[in-house]
């Protein structure tokens, strides 16, 4: 697969595959590969090994053709460049709907119309430009998911032609969900899909009769792949975002710019929140909220989580005294292996 989604903003999550023996003629099958600018591993329990590669490649191709900003003739690239004739496909439509839902739920801290700023800060396929407060304010005129609509004919309508979409903070999670649909439609009930550190776990590891076990990387011990937490997942998705891994260093000033951009201010977000891991019913939602929490910062993220019952999270942050602390929702604690 051609690498197209080059801007992977997700905290890597280590998948722990426990070795097992075949029982009742069932065995563990794993498909490895590269797609969306990262690697993937798809594990499924079945009586026989089936060649899923053509179907997997086809799905990634469709996702790329619809939503990769790194393909000049993708639908999203054409829309970003002002083409109003594009009729978007079902995938684009569903990602648009999810984005709108999270945009509204987070009061705008998740906003895929931030594409013009992603490019300007040097994190996208477009041209990087020198930025100061005046320039950032001028670009913010082209940011706001409330400034775009999907018409009944499945065409994108923008208030300004300069508005640019960037679905990288939700499309990878959505692709994982679609891989899950692919596997379910093939009759597989127990599988684990991992793409670039994001996870969808369905059923259980039936060879051990236990939920799927995954590890969340420690942002302070990446070199040795240390684990900040180990959890058991069953019919859940998990995604993470972190500021410690993806950043750009100005070649002249040496100043570090983290990849998380605050859609409200237009500036890159330097905050005490090091990493956010979210557990949800599907990976697109987990993906989007993990990004939103990084933009919110630790205080607003905790405040939001305390009002929710359908999201769980694990936040790692630097406290005011300089120590590393964490916040875990009750639901996250319930799936964690101590």
pLDDT band per the 50, 70, 90 thresholds, residue 321: confident
13-335: what fold? T-fold (3.10.520)
DSSP 16: -
> Each residue of 264-288: pLDDT tens digit?
999 986 778 888 999 999 999 999 9
> Each residue of 77-135: pLDDT tens digit?
999 999 999 999 999 999 999 999 999 999 999 999 999 999 999 888 888 999 999 99
β 198-202/191-195 pair status:
antiparallel
Residue extents of the structural domains in the chain:
13-335
Side-chain-side CA neighbours of 237 within 13 Å: the count stands at 29
Within 10 angstroms of residue 211's Cβ, the number of other Cβ atoms is: 18
For CA atoms 78, 80, 83, 84, give the dihedral sign. positive
Rounded to the nearest angstrom, the gap between the alpha carbon of residue 227 and the centroid of all alpha carbons in its chain is 20
């Amino acid at each position: 697969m051609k690498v197209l989604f080059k801007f992977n903003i997700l905290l890597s999550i280590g998948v722990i595959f426990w070795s097992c023996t075949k029982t009742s003629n069932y065995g563990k099958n794993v498909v490895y590969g590269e797609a969306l600018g990262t690697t993937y591993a798809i594990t499924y329990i079945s009586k026989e090994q089936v060649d899923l590669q053509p179907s997997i490649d086809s799905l990634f191709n469709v996702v790329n053709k619809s939503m990769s900003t790194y393909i000049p003739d993708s639908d999203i690239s054409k829309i970003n460049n002002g083409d109003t004739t594009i009729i978007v496909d079902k995938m684009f439509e569903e990602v648009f709907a999810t984005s709108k839902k999270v945009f509204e739920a987070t009061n705008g801290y998740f906003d895929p119309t931030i594409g013009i700023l992603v490019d300007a800060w040097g994190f996208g396929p477009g041209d990087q430009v020198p930025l100061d407060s005046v320039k950032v304010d001028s670009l913010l005129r082209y940011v706001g998911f409330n400034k775009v609509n999907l018409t009944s004919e499945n065409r994108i309508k923008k208030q300004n032609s300069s508005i640019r979409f960037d679905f990288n903070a939700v499309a990878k999670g959505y692709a994982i969900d679609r891989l899950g649909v692919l596997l379910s439609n093939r009759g597989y009930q127990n599988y684990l899909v991992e793409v670039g550190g994001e996870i969808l776990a369905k059923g259980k590891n039936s060879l051990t009769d236990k939920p799927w076990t995954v590890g969340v990387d420690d942002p302070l011990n990446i070199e040795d792949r240390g684990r900040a937490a180990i959890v058991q997942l069953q019919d859940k998705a998990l995604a993470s975002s972190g500021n410690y891994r993806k950043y750009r260093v100005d070649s002249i000033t040496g100043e570090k710019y983290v990849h998380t951009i605050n859609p409200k201010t237009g500036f890159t977000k330097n905050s005490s929140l090091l990493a956010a891991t979210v557990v949800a019913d599907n990976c697109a939602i987990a993906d989007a909220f993990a990004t939103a929490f990084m933009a919110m910062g630790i205080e607003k993220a905790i405040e939001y989580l305390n009002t929710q019952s359908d999201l769980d999270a694990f936040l790692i942050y630097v406290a005011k005294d300089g120590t590393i602390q964490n916040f875990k929702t009750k639901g996250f604690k319930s799936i964690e292996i101590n």
